[in-house]
Structure formats: structure tokens, C-alpha cells
Amino acid sequence: MAISRAQLVKELEPGLNALFGLEYQGYENEHAEIYDIESSDRAFEEEVMLSGFGEAPVKTEGAGVSYDQAQEVYTARYTHETIALAFSLTEEAVEDNLYDRLAARYTRALARSMATTKQIKAAAVLNGAFDTSIGGDGKPLCALDHPTLGGPDLKNELTTPADLSETSLEQALIDIAAFTDERGLKIAVQGVKLIIPKELQFTADRIMKSTLRVGTADNDINALRNMGMIPQGYTVNHYLTDTEAFFIKTDAPNGMKMFQRVAIKTGFEGDFDTGNVRYKARERYSFGFSDARGIFGSPGAA
């Protein structure tokens, strides 16, 4: 349905001083703080988790060497979605506009809608981290029992859910340092960035930037700051829906990923029969995760 003069009647009246409602700034590119971005030239991308070998046993004198097995463990699939939006203006609406080019204003609104949709989809993976964002191992992104091939279950959430505090943050970092690979060998992974909703930004700032411990009368140092933990600090994501949940991005490779299949494209064309002008924006991408070791989370105490 094309936008007609009936929907733009005030823009046609002499004496109009200002049009407003399309000038708001948006929270753009917050997804880049969470995901490693890669390009794709296929309909979908698959990433396969491989197992290495277990601990090497002692070889007794004269005995044969032991052989171990390596294999594929699971596959993570990223299926790209096509995101598109369009609008149309009647020929008469374009002809009779007295003040500004309608196309210029509404293409900016179109771009903002596309950008906001991307942020919502990016945050959806974390918003569903404890129940609906299912990985290649059949478990939610954050779980206490990610199965491994030969080692203990992987735990990438707090055993006892807790709100963001100095204590819960320290425990999360201890749990991250305990990560093992698929065969139970310890791996060197650390938390690099805290991801929080807007409701926790003041708490996070006090915890991470105070010289001394927060909320105590003791003269203890702030160990998190003193040890240089979480070196990339914290980032606020305005599209997280749980006001108590928080996440720590780790430096584990192949964790949180976005695949860009087709970058945003815009175009317009006129319709011969009606004279209407149509404008469209379109892009293709996918968000997800391969290795759950790339994130650690807590849903909060409630």
C-alpha cells in the first residue's frame, strides 16, 4: 500500500515549520561488541567441533605405544535470514510535496528500522541463552551440563544463579579458568568483556573501576581491577530483555559469531502503471554460536 497525500496532509499546508519523529538516534552496532563477524557466500554455514586426544599414558619398557582416537563431536549451523523492508509513495504525493524530499526522510527511517532489527536479532541469542538458544550439542547456550566427548560436562553458567556483584563476577572468572576441552584437558581461556543490560551499568562501573572494594568498610584493593581481569571492560546492550542477567565474553575461539551473507542494499524504482515510487532495503545474515566456551552467563538470582 503506497503512502498517499491523505497520510501526509500536514506536509502540504503552507506555514509548516518542522517535521519531527524521524530524527531520533539509535543504538547501532552493539552486536559488534558480542560477535566475531565473518563473511559467507553460501545459504548456510556449518562449523564442526573436533576432539583432540586425552592425557598421554605411561609407556612401560618394551610395550607398544598407546593409540588414541580423534573425531567430530557436533556441528553448529548458521542459517542466514533475509531481512527486508520497503515503502511506496504515490506519484501525486511526490509531486505535491512543498518542503523536503519525502524519499530522503523515509529512506533514513527505513535504514533505522533495518539497523534496529539487526540489534534485536543479535540480542535474541543472549536473551534465550538459558532456554531457547540451542547449540550443536543440544544444550542452551548457557548450561551446567554441556556434554563433552571424554571429559567432565562443561559448565558455562553459575552453579547458583546470582545477580551481578563482585562475588558473582569473581566466581564466574574462576569457573571460566576451569574450562577443559572435549577430552578433559585444561585450556587457557579467560573472560575479556562483560555484557550487561542498561539496568546494570552503574553496578558494573562501581565493581570494575573502583580502586578499593565496593560496599565494604575494609581497605581491601579491588582485585578485579588490580589483576587486570576482564581487560575490555563492560559494554551495555540496550536490547537485552532480562534486567538481571549478565554475560562474560571469553577469548575462546569460534564462540559467538555473526555471518554476513549480503550487506545491506537499497534500491528504488518507479511503477509504470501507477507512477508510484517504491523503495526497498534488504540484507542477509545470521547470528549464533559454535563453541559455548565463548560465553559465560548468569540469569540473575530471581
Reduce the DSSP state of residue 167 to 3 states and report it.
helix
Neighbour count for residue 13 (Cβ, 10 Å): 9
| Phi, psi dihedrals of residue 277, rounded to the nearest 5° | -110, 130
How do residues 86-127 score in pLDDT, each as one tens digit? 988 887 777 776 335 566 777 788 888 999 999 999 999 999
The pTM for the full model equals 0.87
pLDDT band at 24 (very low <50, low <70, confident <90, very high): low
How do residues 223-279 score in pLDDT, each as one tens digit? 999 999 999 999 999 999 999 999 999 999 999 999 999 999 888 888 888 888 888
CB 165 within 8 A of CB 213: no
- Beta strand 277-289 with 256-270 is antiparallel
Q: Half-sphere exposure of residue 277, counting CA atoms within 13 Å on the CB side? A: 14
* Residues 6+ positions from 201 with CB-CB distance below 8 Å: 234, 236
How do residues 165-223 score in pLDDT, each as one tens digit? 999 999 999 999 999 999 999 999 999 999 999 999 999 999 999 888 887 777 789 99
User: What is the Cα–Cα distance from 161 to 301, expressed in whole angstroms?
Assistant: 5
CB 182 within 8 A of CB 52: yes
